[in-house]
Chains A and B, each alone.
Chain A
C-alpha cells in the first residue's frame, strides 16, 4: 500500500493569532515495502508528518493518498476507521498507552476494535507477544508491573496486533538501554523482511538510518530538505552541518581519519565499507614504512 503526499500543508490552530505552520507543501511518496527513515531537528515537523500517515491529522490543504483513499480537509472521521487498521502508529514512549488489566487483554484491544471476535483477538495477541519476545508467563500480569523495556514491547505488540500493512515508528528506541535498542530495531527489521511491511521510522539515531533504512527523508522547518538513499543524504558534510544533523558514527571517524591524511572517495556508512576503504591505504602505508 503506497502513501502519497500531494502538496500537503498543515497549520496548527488555524485562524487564530497562535496559528503556526506545521508542514509546508509536502510532496512525498512512501512506496509499498520500503523502509524509510525521517530525520531532522526537533520541531522540524516530523511528528506532524507522521500523524498524517494514518489521518490523525487532516491536511489544511492538499491531500494524502493512503492506499486508494484520499484524505483531505473535508474527509469525515467515519471514513477513516478502516484506514487506521492498515497503518499502525507507534508513538514516542508508547508504554504510556497501556491500560488493560492484563498484558494479553491490552494487546487484544486493537484487533477487537477492528471487529475481530474475542477468541480471534486473543489468538492474534498471543502470536504477536511471541513475535516481540514476551514470554507466556507474562501474559496475565498487569502491564504496569513490567519493566520499562517489556512495557515498550507490549505496547508495540498492541500496534502490531492490528496486522498493519504500514508500520510508523516515532523514535521507538528512545530511552532504552543499548541492548533493548538493538533488540527492538532487529525486531522491526525482521517484520519488515518476513512480512513485507512498509516501515516509516522517525529517529535521531543516524546509525539506525544507515543500518536499516533504504531511503532517508530530511525535514527542516516543516519542509522537505532532501530525499535520497542514506548514502546520498550523508554524502555532503557541510550541508549536514548547516541543517544541524549528526553524522553516523562511522562518518565521524572518517572525518578524523581525513584530518590525519587518509583519503576517501565516498563516504563509508557501515563498518564494512570503512574497512574496505581503509585496507588498501593501510597496506600502502606499511609498504612505505
Chain B
C-alpha cells in the first residue's frame, strides 16, 4: 500500500505545494549491439522509446544513462546529442539504462493547472444538478482523490487504488494547512508553501494513513 504524492492547488490553479512521498522505480539496463532494436525519438528535451518493448523496457521510457553515466536531457554528459551518439556504429556495444521519466517542476505546475480546468469541466458537463468537480479519478495503477475547500483550495492525493482512509487524510491535510501554513506570519496567501512545520506534519500524517493498510483503520 502506498500514497504516491500530494499536490496543493490554489483557487487560480497554481501549484503551491507538492510532495513526492513514494516513487516506485522501474529501471532496466541492457547492452545493445548495432543497430538498436528500439525506435527512439526526442520529446520534450528527453529521448523516449517510441516503439519496441523488451526486457522491462516500455514505450514511453526515457534514456537515463549511457554506459553507466547519466545523460543530461537530450545530451550525453560530455555534451553530445544522444541520438547522434547512438547512430554511430563505432560506439557499440553500448549499455543503456531506461526508466519512466521523472516529472520536472515545470511539468508539475502544468499538470496542476490542467487538473484545475478538468475539475471545472467535470462539474459543467454533469447530467445532475448541483454537482461538484472531480472528487476521485481512477486508473489501473493509481487513484487520484481531490478535496476542495470552501475557499477554493484543492488538496490532491495520488494513492494506490487499494489504499483506503484517503478521505480522512484529505481532511487532516486541510487541518495541517490551516494550522501550520495559514498561521505562519511569514506566509502570504496563494503563494507557494515553504514551511518546515507543514512539511514535517504532512509527512507524519501520510505515514499514519499508510499504516491504515488496504482495508482501512480498525481491521
Whether A and B are associated in the same complex: the answer reads no
